[in-house]
Chains A and B, each alone.
Chain A
Amino acid sequence: MKMRKIFLGVIIVTFLFVIGVIPGHAQKEVTYLSLADYTAAIAGLNVPADMGCEDYIKDMNARGGVDGVKVKFIGVDTRYDVARGVSAYKRYRTEPKLLVANAIGTPIGKAVAPLATKDKIVTLVPGDGEFQANLGRIFVWGPTYQDSFAATIDWLVADWKKKGKTGMPKLGYISWDNAYGKEYLRGGKEYAEKMGVSLAPPEFFPAGSLDHTVYLTRLAKAEVNYIFVGGVDPTPTNVIRDAHKLGLTKTIQFFCDYWGPTSLGVRLHPEALEGVVIVSYYLRGDDARNHPLANLWMKYGRGKLEDMNEVYTIGMSWAITFEAALKNALKQVGYKKLDGEAIFQAYQTLTGTERAGLQGPCAYSPTSRRGSLEVRFYQVKAGKVVSISDWIKAPDAVSLHKF
């Protein structure tokens, strides 16, 4: 009798131990990691973009997730600090079924890429053409930076001809003196040469510069007809504000890139920014606010619709892309075998996937890391950012450069 009690006791203890060790039948979940900047230099754009991503994921989870699999959004504030970005990636790389790390900022993306590649997960980065030139597990959000520059060259050549001018125009370029600032010309410079557009010596200034007069004056002396301004807003706004003070905006057409002034920025300097043309791979201005998905902004208590920063739509686009990839991966391997390799394969099958028109159709494929191929041109008119073109396929400038 005593032995039976001992035996029963051991069985109960063993059972409890096993129950404690084996993970329970928790809900099916995968992890999406954002290595973000919520409190430092690019927080102004990153915060609303991640709000869009998180809200879309919340909404998707509320609808039951992807075939019953919920997505856990983890946003880490790296403060645009590479050391913090790498440390955060190390901390979260063991999260259950971590499939994607979105590195907000080119330097963090480049630093984390070798680790994420070793872990076989997908990394998302802003616009670096290097990742299209050297195919790996790193995917760009939209067309590469150099492609958007090439599309702008096409636009300005057409504009030049439309104005009845002869010969070819001269283009100036001004941006931050860092990897991001120089990326546009790695292929963009070659495209300008190919199109016969003369490029004045580019002007690079240190991030944090308060005055850009010296650089702009040099470009004016080079007798440029157009100037392409880089930097994350409000930097481009400040550059054009300085150009306006110098009277340059009367004679030179200014352009901004993806991170140029949003509608909220335009409200602060409407006069200086009037007429500026913005090349964008995502919807801007009222195009963004009138989009049906913009209702998530209010549904999740982010404020009034007129205060919605357009980059909110970029975040939704990241989430929609992830949703589509997850769906494909689950179809291919099921939840149990779902891992980084499966999601990497799935991202490459997304060619042509629509994201409710928030940006062009997805261009990811076994030979493409571009998030889409199309850009759209917007212009500041009467203090508003308005569309002046339909979606236009950007030329491939990456292939013109030797990486």
Chain B
Amino acid sequence: MNSFKKIILILSLLMFLLPFMACSTLFPPPKPKVTVAVTPEKVELKFPDILRVPIVFTGAGWTPKEMVVVDMVLPPEVEMKGVKPGEDVGIAFGQADEAGNFKADVPPTAKLNTIFRVGWTPIFAPDPKTLNPIPPGIYKIKASGVDSGGIATTTLEFVAPIKK
């Protein structure tokens, strides 16, 4: 191989690699190892009892003081008012403490809007006639850190009301 060919090959290689190097921001550093867990793991779709059952998310490894948003991933067949197909729905949020631990519970509005897909009267009261609980099943939960971009997942199971 003569020297001209070598130069051409090296130049070609460099030209091919340069865009990748220039676009290194497209490959961000690895995300922190973050966790999320939910208590209880199984929730009965019973109204209004669910309003008295705390559904609490906890996690660790988050950037101190960052906001952690907890979304529920909706299966394609589950329609939700206010949520476009393919979008996740926010059900809780909390701020990580100095040690990177966070805690967030599902507020009553989220239980009504999302778990029971309720309609509202104009006087800020849920309309009991419109209760339309999501189908029982296991739902994927995604916690994301707003600053770190860290993502942790878990599952939350909703079960049909148990007949006693």
Contact = CB atoms under 8 A, between A and B. Distances in A.
A38 B8 contact: no
A11 B15 contact: yes
5 nearest CB pairs, A to B:
A87-B90, A208-B125, A207-B124, A77-B82, A10-B12
Given A41-B122, A80-B109, A234-B122, A87 B71 contact: yes
Nearest to A207: B124
Given A11-B15, A79-B113, A79-B120, 15 more contacts: A3-B8, A3-B9, A7-B11, A13-B16, A40-B113, A41-B124, A43-B122, A80-B109, A81-B90, A83-B106, A84-B110, A87-B71, A115-B146, A208-B125, A210-B125
Contacts of A21: 19, 23, 26
20 contacts: A7-B11, A11-B15, A14-B15, A40-B120, A76-B82, A79-B82, A79-B109, A81-B90, A81-B107, A81-B109, A81-B114, A83-B107, A87-B69, A90-B67, A91-B87, A207-B125, A208-B121, A208-B124, A210-B123, A234-B122
A238 interface: yes
Interface residues of B, number: 42
Interface of A: 3, 6-7, 10-11, 13-14, 17-18, 21, 38-41, 43-44, 76-88, 90-91, 93, 111, 114-115, 118, 176, 207-210, 232-235, 238
A83 B94 CA distance: 10
- Secondary structure class of chain B's binding surface, majority of residues: mixed
B61 to A, nearest CB: 18
Contacts, number: 119
Contacts of A111: 93
B123 A87 contact: no
A80 B18 CA distance: 48
A233 to B, nearest CB: 8
A111 B68 CA distance: 12
B109 A88 contact: no
